[in-house]
Amino acid sequence: MDTMVLATQKWLNKTYGSVANYKQVPETGNTGWPTIYGLIRGVQHELGIALQDGSPAFGEATSAAFDAKVVPNLKKGYKSNFVYLIQGAFWAKGISPEEFTGTYSSYTESAIKSLQSDAGIPTTGVLDSQLAQALFDMSAFVLVSGGDKTVRNMQQYLNANYRQYTGILPTDGIYQRATNTALIYGVQAELGLGDIANGFWGPTTISTYKSAFSNGLGDKVIKLIQYALYVNMKEYLTTKGAKGPAFTGALDSSTQNILNQFQNFMMLDPVKAGQPDSTTMYSLMLSSGNPARNFFGMDTSYQLDASMIKALVDYDVNYVGRYLTGSVGSGASERDKNLTRTEAQNIIDAGLKLVPIYQDNTPSVDYFTYNQGVSDAQSAVSAALNIGIPNGQTIYFAVDMDMTDDEITTAAIPYFQGIVAGISHYHIGVYGTRNVSSRVSHAVSSVLYSYVSNMSTGFSGNLGFSQPTNWAFDQFFEDGVGVGPLPALDRVAVSNIDAGVTYLVESAITKSKWFEDTKWQGLKDRVASANITWDSGEIKLVDSETIKVSVSMSSTLEQTTELSEIPMTFEIKNGKITPDFTQHYENLSSLKFGTVIQANIDKLSAGIKSGSVTVLVRPGNIMEDELPMAPVISLVFSPDPISINNNEYTIDWAVTFKMQFNTSPLVKEPAFETVQELNWDEIRQKWANGFKVVTEVSAGIVLVGAVAAIIVALPIEISAGGIAAIGALFISIGQDIK
């Protein structure tokens, strides 16, 4: 809280509180727009301008009246409400005029000169309407947090030389829309277009620049080019540990070298190497660059038929960006935009490379949350797997809006953190403005590449921000004419760091169909009732003191295993497990129970035409709500065998039955070697009761699997001789209660 700001607020309300359409200023001692608006309303009232409802502006009428009625009187000793308003504005701006007296003094003049110095203009001490517009505003004229000193120097240079076109702009070190526009105004002025300068890089400016480039550019234009190079190459040069250009106004070897790096980095073609030719200058002035430059990628919301794909091939396009899901338009004009497997295969068969994009929303800040990221990742993965996009490809998730820096922090970054939590099979890419792409990529390390929406030249996120160093695709022009039968497309530059999708694999629809072939009616009933679905997590079937049983269905199962937990995988063909399963378990004991176990595991495998069962054993973990003294046995069924790499294993489209049995009744001191030492009646009763629960809950699905799994588990606690006997016991229990 600032006491002088508070004094200003109290004075405003006391002086103008009864004036029509004056809005009371909150008396908080904190500066802000309400205080600035109160000051402007005070100026307008003193000038005889009727106050209007809504937010006031220091516009043309106010400026003209201020120059005529106020400026001539601003001399030492002049006492007026105008001086109160000026002094109050300085306090609100954070520049001390030393007093709040309503009398113009040397202190007031010093404050004016301080503002002029901060803005980079001559310190005349004259507060004309142009400077008053900057004063009666929230714009900052000192380096703010996150600001860049070099950018601030550039802003001061632009104010000093081109304020007659732009007004006095902020010098806070933040490159913004006004800074970018002022840079273009400066080039236009130096090209002799001052009378028609408009801050837009249009046809007249482009034509005039081409002529000037051919005849030799002046040093002031070169200096503006050097400033543009700095903001466009800042991130790139920083990552290289290289210096930016010197602002000398000379097209020296250093500037030419950076120009050449810029051309190569942005994949600009055709250009004159190391020279600020028209195409290069276009990209320095606007994020989109020259729409007529060469490009090798495109994206579209249209579903592509064979004739459209042929037209793209003839158009020399190599990369095709397509949306995985969704539709566009509404009502009668609504049409699907989702990529189909047939379309994807046709694109690839034509020799083109596919780039998958996910955007199934009407973008607003509220949409982008962590939970939405998780959901979108799962939807994108499901669509990509069903199309048959191979593992390891990159899906680009869109933030198709102009987010501010604060919104990126509070919305975009959490959204992508959610995507990381929900993603499987694929890498993550970000689609968005330069600022969104860079900040998300830096904040979320799993984001691999950027698909930059540079054609949105008016977005603040594209103004003054360097092209992300991880850019893979640069969407720079919306072509409403299209090519051949394709009505419209976006032109896209390509950096070649993402090779795109060049082949398809078997669709996940086919991959996951193996589950429908099983005889697991109880589990299929649960799926039908949505009690359990793919990737919905672990569902507990039994949770008792003696038995814990759960089931989960995973489109991909990725875990790390210790050497003692290395899984054993056995092939299933035509509903039966291969004979090596029998051999494995008979090797555990001199008793020949392997064939009995196999017969029972075959019941669980019934209906699986081709697949595998993987057996995993590990100690219980109390932190995961497991019995700490009992082994955890998992039977993992899937259409493919397990893949192990560096103690990490992956199983796709897996159904996992996880079981734990309280084996504490079996453990006695000293360790036993024969089944006669066990209390069979007690064991039989406890486990039989447990199996009854399992049978009731899961309709017999897990019973036989549990019988086989306990055989695997028991070597952890008792001898091989006891294992076989216990296996026989469980089989008999199962037969008793079926």
pLDDT tens track for 70-92: 999 999 999 999 999 999 999 99
For helices 434-443 and 413-422, the axis angle rounded to 10 degrees is 50
691-710 exposure pattern, b = at least 16 Cβ within 10 A, e = fewer:
bebbbebbbbbbbbbbbbbb
**Nearest CA among 660, 573, 563, 579 for reference residue 610:** 573
Cβ count near 649 (within 10 Å): 21
- Rounded CA separation 286/405 (Å): 20
pLDDT digit string (tens) for 676-695? 444 445 544 544 444 443 33
**589: which 2 tokens?**
């004991």
Q: What is the pLDDT of residue 726?
A: 40
Q: What is the pLDDT of residue 75?
A: 96
CA of residue 110 relative to chain centroid, distance: 48
- Give me the amino acid identity at 279: T
DSSP 622: G
Q: What is the pLDDT of residue 463?
A: 86
**Nearest CA among 675, 667, 699, 684 for reference residue 593:** 675
- Rounded CA separation 50/21 (Å): 9
- CATH class (in words) of the domain with range 321-494: alpha beta
Greater confidence (675 vs 329) lies with 329
pLDDT digit string (tens) for 192-213? 999 999 999 999 999 999 999 9
**573: which 2 tokens?**
């063909």
Number of H helices, E strands in the chain: 26, 18
Q: Scanning the structure block, which residue is given the tokens 């640069």?
A: 474
Q: What is the pLDDT of residue 713?
A: 37
Q: What is the pLDDT of residue 539?
A: 81
| Average per-residue pLDDT for the chain | 84
Residue 733's alpha-carbon distances to 236, 543, 702, 727, 730, in angstroms, are 70, 20, 14, 10, 5
**281: which 2 tokens?**
């200058």
Q: What is the pLDDT of residue 611?
A: 80
Residues 6+ apart with CB under 8 A from 203: none
Length of the chain equals: 738
Cβ count near 273 (within 10 Å): 12
What is the percentage of the chain residues whose pLDDT exceeds 90? 64
- Rounded CA separation 310/288 (Å): 27
Q: Which stretch of 333-342, 453-462, 678-687 has the lowest confidence by average pLDDT?
A: 678-687
Which helix H or strand E contains 97, and what residues bound it? none
Q: What is the pLDDT of residue 554?
A: 82
Using 50, 70 and 90 to split pLDDT, how confident is the model at 671? very low
Using 50, 70 and 90 to split pLDDT, how confident is the model at 559? low
- Rounded CA separation 661/639 (Å): 27
In sequence order, which ranges of 270-321 are alpha helices (DSSP H)? 278-285, 306-314
Mean pLDDT of 119-140: 97
**Nearest CA among 194, 175, 174, 176 for reference residue 185:** 194
pLDDT digit string (tens) for 423-449? 988 999 999 999 999 999 999 999 999
Using 50, 70 and 90 to split pLDDT, how confident is the model at 660? confident
Q: Is 417 helix (H, G, I), strand (E, B) or coil?
A: helix
Q: What is the pLDDT of residue 572?
A: 80
Residues 6+ apart with CB under 8 A from 104: 74, 75, 76, 77, 78, 79, 80, 83, 86
Mean pLDDT of 710-737: 37
- Rounded CA separation 295/276 (Å): 20
Mean pLDDT of 450-471: 93
Q: Which stretch of 195-204, 266-275, 616-625, 675-684 has the lowest confidence by average pLDDT?
A: 675-684
Greater confidence (450 vs 694) lies with 450
Residue 592's alpha-carbon distances to 433, 668, 709, in angstroms, are 68, 25, 17
**260: which 2 tokens?**
């050449």
Ranges of each domain in the chain: 3-195+207-213, 321-494, 537-736
DSSP 483: B
Q: What is the pLDDT of residue 632?
A: 74
Q: What is the pLDDT of residue 62?
A: 97
Residue 318 above 80 pLDDT? yes
pLDDT digit string (tens) for 3-48? 999 999 999 999 999 999 999 999 999 999 999 999 999 999 999 9
